[in-house]
Chain A
Amino acid sequence: MKHQSRFTYSLKVLFSRKLVVFAVCLVVLFVLIAVFIPVLSPYDPYKTDMTSSLLKPSSEHWLGTDKLGRDVLTRLMYGTRTSLCIGVLSVFLSSILGVAIGLISGFYGGIVNTVLSRIVDALLAIPNIMFAMALSIMFSSGSILGLVLVLGISTVPTYARLLTAQVLQIKNSDFMTAEKVLGISNKKKIMSHLLPNCISPILVVLTANIGFTILAESSLNFLGLGVSAPVASWGGMVSEAYTLLLSRPVYAMAPGICIMLLVFGFNILGDGIRDAIDPRLRGTL
């Protein structure tokens, strides 16, 4: 361990579990699909063809076609793009906002912290989906960007709380005292010592949260508050197909399974990263 860099060690821990390897493969696969769909599929995800509506799976359409005659597999692959976009971007947004709030409330402590903590408490008490529902009506554009905002904002409190705790802990650590003894300025203390040390637990939650966000997006879609047609999204496809479960089982099950696989991938990856970078974090989230 001594002569092994932390990074390679972490990687080693990460990949020592078969499940994690599987999860990483899943995520990578989905990312590749999202990036390369236009090359992968000969079909246009938006071109409707009413004559080939709801075809059963065949060699031409591996998973059949949807109501408007679009290739289900192609739309699933475009849905990957949507889901990943929403998942990744919203988590990005919320973590940045959350980190900023957490840093402020943790570093300045006192009244700032008390006020912000109570607000975060209050927001955390409102079930996520309600918050998201209200927000999604507010931004009712039905666009991907809108959903990113909605889901991003609704998870900000989680990060804020986590980071506040983290900052409060690190702020009082010996090495931060050491910085003070050295007479280093506040700005430098925050940016180059406090922040980097708070990031790793955030990273863990972040990965897992991508999964949860994708799930939340599908729930919203199911409630009719998701991305507008004709953009392909898994949640949208579930809600558009679930009544056809009996007659078109493949069409109805496929988007659900995709959601599960991707979320599963991110969850396991999150767990894996947590184990790899900080075993002490186990079970705290």
Chain B
Amino acid sequence: MKKYIIKRLGQAAITIILISVFAYLLMYIVPGDPVYAILGSDITREQYEKQYLLMELDKPMLVRYWHWVEKIVQGDMGLSYKYTKPVMDLLRQRLPVTMYLGGISLIISVFLGIILGTLCGINRGRTVDNVLTVLANIGSVVPGFWLAVVGMYIFSIKLGWLPSYGFSFPTAGVGLSIKQTIMPVVCLSVGAVASLTRQMRSGMLEVIRQDYIRTARAKGLKESQVIVRHAIKNAIIPVVTLLGMNLRGIVSGAVTIETVYAINGTGSLLVNSIVGRDYPVIQACVLIISVVVVLSNLLVDICYGYLDPRIRLQ
């Protein structure tokens, strides 16, 4: 197992290095002069040239990449063009928000997905299964932002139950925080719940056909015991490997949902900085988010090892 973890760590490291290259390269494939991005309109030639040199735009790309990496290793991601403050500070504010929302969504969707998927799987072909399957299929096709807008109209304007925008951590007041969190979390989770339900359902169907389930039944176990003790853990294994994908989906969802609900997380930061060509921020966001995804995948793989003893020993 230790070997396995080390190996996966190594792979993750290489992946992260590559991501850093991509993140850096983004700046060059995206059109738009970074000088204008930093200085805005109405700049004089002198201002332009000064800034051009300041940003080392005259240096070869590899040199700049190297400088960038050097700084990142020291924990410095540069200054945001737009906010003129260290990107690190920005991320320190924004990342927890997205991680909090994303984390809650992930937890909720995993729980719901597993429960609903199991329900579908063991009731295959019955009404519960049919209804839930259709719902899951619908859930996976609703555009998140659209749901967010529709939800806002219903729960904020029509019913007045939930606030229309904003986000705060529970430390700043539990009641408000919960109210503000409900809709974004729902919008972020719907897709993941749906896909996890589907995955869990098929996992369950697969497992339920297995010989060891028959063995468990032949022992004289109750059906519920068969499912809880023998089926679920096995069915979860393939679902766990797909968690990484779901995480990626949730992060993607955050981009639009955060914009709609005026939540200052990494998603909205990224949108703003892409539109505003705030390159240091784009690079940092892409890097950080991808690294988070890579690390979560790593975590998932390790969990996978613990869930599945067959992997653990290899």
User: Is the A/B pair a real complex?
Assistant: yes
Beta-carbon nearest neighbor of B296 in chain A: A125
A137 on the interface (CB 8 Å rule)?
yes
Contacts of A121 in B (CB 8 A): 11, 15, 18, 294
B274 on the interface (CB 8 Å rule)?
yes
Contact between chains at B297 and A125 (CB < 8 Å): yes
Q: How many contacts between A and B, using CB within 8 angstroms?
A: 131
Q: Which of B19, B149, B256 contacts A126 (CB 8 A)?
A: B19
Beta-carbon nearest neighbor of B14 in chain A: A118
A260 on the interface (CB 8 Å rule)?
yes
Contact between chains at B271 and A133 (CB < 8 Å): yes
Q: Mark A250-283, 1 if CB is under 8 A from B, else 0.
A: 0001001001100110011000000000000011
Contacts of A268 in B (CB 8 A): 137
Q: Mark A131-170, 1 if CB is under 8 A from B, else 0.
A: 0011101101000000000000000000000000000000
Number of B residues near A (Cβ < 8 Å) is: 54
B290 on the interface (CB 8 Å rule)?
yes
Residues in B lying within 8 Å of A, measured CB to CB: 11, 14-16, 18-19, 21-22, 26, 29-32, 133-134, 137-138, 140-146, 149-150, 153, 157, 199, 202-203, 205-206, 238, 248-249, 251-252, 255-256, 259, 270-271, 274-275, 282, 285-286, 289-291, 293-294, 297
Contact between chains at A129 and B252 (CB < 8 Å): yes
Contact between chains at B31 and A137 (CB < 8 Å): yes
Beta-carbon nearest neighbor of B152 in chain A: A245
Can you list 29 pairs linking A and B with CB atoms under 8 Å apart?
Answer: A19-B133, A119-B18, A121-B18, A125-B15, A125-B290, A130-B252, A130-B286, A133-B271, A134-B282, A137-B31, A215-B141, A215-B143, A219-B143, A219-B144, A219-B255, A222-B143, A223-B256, A223-B259, A223-B271, A238-B143, A238-B145, A242-B146, A259-B141, A260-B141, A264-B137, A283-B202, A283-B206, A283-B238, A284-B238
Kindly name the residue among B18, B282, B293 whose own CB sees the greatest number of chain A CB atoms within 10 A: B18
Contacts of A122 in B (CB 8 A): 15-16, 18-19, 21-22, 290
A211 on the interface (CB 8 Å rule)?
yes
Number of A residues near B (Cβ < 8 Å) is: 41
A126-B247 Cα distance, complex, nearest whole Å: 11
A121-B270 Cα distance, complex, nearest whole Å: 21
A213 on the interface (CB 8 Å rule)?
no
A164-B271 Cα distance, complex, nearest whole Å: 33
What distance in Å separates the Cβ of A168 from its nearest Cβ neighbour in chain B?
16
A233 on the interface (CB 8 Å rule)?
no
A119-B199 Cα distance, complex, nearest whole Å: 27
A282-B16 Cα distance, complex, nearest whole Å: 31
